[in-house]
Amino acid sequence: MATGSRRQPLPLLLLPLILLAGRGEAGAARPSPIKNVVVLALENRSFDHILGWTRRLLGLPVDGLTGAECNPNSSPNSSAICVSADADLVVPDDPGHSFEDVLEQVFGNVSAAAAQPSMSGFVRSALSVNALLSSAVMRAFRPALLPAFSALAPAFAVFDRWFSSIPGPTQPNRLFLYSATSRGAVAHNKLDLLLGYPQRTIFDSLAADGRGFAVYFKTIPTVLFYRRLRALRHAARSFHRYDAAFKDHARRGVLPALSVIEPRYFDLTGTPADDDHPAHDVANGQRLVKDVYEALRAGPQWNQTLLVVTYDEHGGFYDHVATPTAGVPSPDGIRGPPPFFFKFDRLGVRVPTIMVSPWIKKGTVVGRPAGPTDTSEFEHSSIPATLKKIFDLSSDFLTKRDAWAGTFEHIFTELDEPRTDCPETLPEVPFERPTPPNEHGWLSDFQRELVELASFLNGDYMLTSLAQEARTKKMTVKQADAYVRRAITGFLRASKQALRLGANESAIVTMRSSLTIFGCRYTGVECRRRAVVEVLWPMDRAVNGGEGQPGPELGPGGSCDVHSWIEGASTSGWRVSWFAPQNQVGGRRLKTSSRGGTGVGLGTGGGTGVDGV
Ligand SMILES: *[C@@H]1O[C@H](CO)[C@@H](O)[C@H](O)[C@H]1NC(C)=O
Ligand SMILES: *[C@@H]1O[C@H](CO)[C@@H](O)[C@H](O)[C@H]1NC(C)=O
Ligand SMILES: *[C@@H]1O[C@H](CO)[C@@H](O)[C@H](O)[C@H]1NC(C)=O
Ligand SMILES: *[C@@H]1O[C@H](CO)[C@@H](O)[C@H](O)[C@H]1NC(C)=O
Ligand SMILES: *[C@@H]1O[C@H](CO)[C@@H](O)[C@H](O)[C@H]1NC(C)=O
């Protein structure tokens, strides 16, 4: 291109200066060496709890513990409880981390949200849950108990000022990770979670520029709490079982721009939970980190990979760094519910964040970000904000929060080429916990939400929410795990089928099931013969015939083996078939009906479930 005859030739002397300035600019605009980002968000641990002692015991220059940090006990007369270096791999209970709990932990007092967080209410808050917890929340890990982190932290980067996005529980914080807002949620709002949060996500921004993403999950992908991820275009393509796919994709070098790893949330013998959520064994979280790192390290994409390991929130564990309260923008102006009407104007408690890439200098410690504003901090929205930068995404920021959050693309620009001294393996994690998983125990609140998500996606939830509630309370961890796996398999499979049959990519599969199934599963009685599953979904064009596939097995023990069936649909209508369980009456079709549309030869009776239609 002509540089333009209107431009005056520059005086020769200015040239070097301009070139220099130009290089600085280009440094920022230079394509990032990072082409694959892998995010692993574990559960419910604070920075000090996990990495607080790495300063004293590993010599890492992080803002960690000195040993002098204490919290007052409940009664003014009993002595304060101070931090110690003897955290157990398994803690006795789950410290509180609801919005109210965190209010007390951070300000020392629920009744008065003081101007300045004193980080003095952790012990009192824990006492209200379980007396044994009051000292557990002040205990932090000796680095030796966390061999994966103790190897990665000094070898790569630790962020020692990374906060959870809101001073509250898991799901709102997880929502911030990929959408920079929880749309007003400060708690787990069941209905919103089930229907799915409607906001735009970083997955949409990536897709808009033709960049792929994948979710590798072990139990159930919590990103399905975003409604948009349930659409066929994503549900049919982007979800993979971690065990079947992650290492294979890493080995073949086909990891997409963004990979999300979702740990196992149910604790079973043989397949223990590895989400680090209390009271799950943290050693298994370390094994997962090791597994992920080694797969990436050995793969052909290593030289362009970034692994981010963070925690959704602090889980009620003590941290000494005051939570930021100044200049934090509300993402979207939506306020929280009564009684607090939270304005989303302060961040949650500091959490550990470790970043791993051959482009990161050994021993990097990242503190406060340099911008984009004076008050910017690192928090979960920093992930979408930085993805936008390193992939030069054309979509706008998701909310005001990711526009404000610090970004970390600069930590990859300090080296001229990728390091070759990164460890190929991480140390073994030798610890065995003294007691086996309590797989016959009842569910935690979080696990109950996962069961509810699964039952919503697979249609059982439509029955009656009351009975649903009763059921999830009665399920053991082991039953819930089996149920959730089947439900998710059914939903993802139905999504694939619907897409193959030509359904609109933005449609979401809706599955429904019958009271008969309900009865058999809830009460454990022998399945009745007329088990029913309907699968329906909006279609944008007529599809004839269709293919059936066995749906999820629905009952514990397999006695309630019901088949879902996608059969076909018509313009703006749907068609549903009822089938008997194959193992009882040969999968005979009992009835077919439809609503709306142009109709595609509907009728009743006949056919068998497997060959049918
Ligand atoms: C605390 O100690 C003071 C003085 O020994 C005593 O008067 C008071 O009753 C004690 N309070 C409690 C809650 O034990
Ligand atoms: C809580 O705050 C109120 C009001 O500021 C104050 O009077 C009270 O002493 C505080 N309680 C504790 C335990 O700090
Ligand atoms: C972490 O916190 C959430 C919200 O407080 C809680 O429901 C849950 O028990 C914890 N997370 C998990 C994975 O259980
Ligand atoms: C990564 O880059 C280093 C340095 O250029 C090179 O030695 C190594 O072979 C590369 N590894 C892969 C997997 O491409
Ligand atoms: C799919 O549905 C969306 C929303 O209803 C619509 O805008 C779009 O045009 C449809 N796509 C096709 C290929 O029909």
The per-residue pLDDT for range 76-135, each reduced to its tens digit, is 667 788 888 877 666 656 666 677 778 778 877 666 556 688 888 888 888 888 777 777
What would the two tokens of residue 539 be? 């279609």
Residue 176 has pLDDT above 60, yes or no: yes
Residues 578, 536 share a domain = yes
Where in the sequence is the domain holding 587, given as residue range(s)? 446-612
The CA distance from 144 to 238, in Å, is 37
Residue 225: predicted pLDDT:
94
Tell me whether residue 428 is in a domain: no
Q: How far is the CA of 323 from the centre of ligand 1 (A)?
A: 32
Residues 481, 405 share a domain = no
Residue 179 has pLDDT above 70, yes or no: yes
Tell me whether residue 434 is in a domain: no
Residues 456, 337 share a domain = no
The fraction of the chain above a pLDDT of 70, given in percent, is 70
HSE of 107, CA atoms in CB hemisphere, 13 A: 18
Confidence band, pLDDT 50/70/90 cuts, at residue 601: very low
Q: How far is the CA of 114 from the centre of ligand 2 (A)?
A: 9
Residue 402 has pLDDT above 50, yes or no: yes
Tell me whether residue 22 is in a domain: no
Considering only CA atoms, which residue is closest to atom 10 of ligand 1?
Answer: 77
Residues 314, 460 share a domain = no
Residue 303 has pLDDT above 90, yes or no: yes
Question: Which of 255, 296, 303, 415 should be mutated for ligand 4, with most atoms under 8 A from CB?
Answer: 303
Residue 46 has pLDDT above 60, yes or no: yes
Confidence band, pLDDT 50/70/90 cuts, at residue 43: confident
Residues 224, 308 share a domain = yes
Q: What is the CATH number of the domain that holds 173?
A: 3.40.720.10
Residue 97: predicted pLDDT:
67
Alpha helix (H) residue ranges in 302-381: none
Residues 490, 386 share a domain = no
Mean pLDDT of 393-411: 97
Q: Pick from 412, 438, 456: which residue ends a domain?
A: 412
Tell me whether residue 536 is in a domain: yes
Considering only CA atoms, which residue is closest to atom 6 of ligand 1?
Answer: 77
* Tens digits of residue pLDDT in 248-265: 999 999 999 999 999 988
The verdict on the CB of residue 112 being under 6 Å from ligand 2 is: yes
Residues 129, 52 share a domain = yes
Q: Facing residues of 217 across strands?
A: 241, 262
The verdict on the CB of residue 301 being under 6 Å from ligand 4 is: no
Tell me whether residue 139 is in a domain: yes
Q: Which atom of ligand 4 is nearest to the CA of 299?
A: 13
The CA distance from 316 to 43, in Å, is 11
Q: Buried b / exposed e across 155-169, counting CB within 10 Å, b at 16+?
A: bbbbbbbbbbbbbbb
Tell me whether residue 103 is in a domain: yes
The verdict on the CB of residue 524 being under 6 Å from ligand 4 is: no
Q: Whole-model pTM above 0.75?
A: yes
Question: Which of 109, 116, 120 should be mutated for ligand 2, with most atoms under 8 A from CB?
Answer: 109
The CA distance from 290 to 117, in Å, is 35
Residues 483, 400 share a domain = no
The verdict on the CB of residue 170 being under 6 Å from ligand 3 is: yes
What would the two tokens of residue 477 be? 């961890």
Ligand nearest to the CA of 421: 4
Residue 175: predicted pLDDT:
96
Instruction: Measure CA of the first residue to CA of the last residue in the chain; give whole Å.
Output: 63
Question: Which of 40, 91, 94 should be mutated for ligand 3, with most atoms under 8 A from CB?
Answer: 94
Confidence band, pLDDT 50/70/90 cuts, at residue 378: very high
Considering only CA atoms, which residue is closest to atom 2 of ligand 2?
Answer: 112
Write down the mean pLDDT value for the chain.
77
CA 411, 414, 419: angle at the middle one, nearest 5?
A: 95
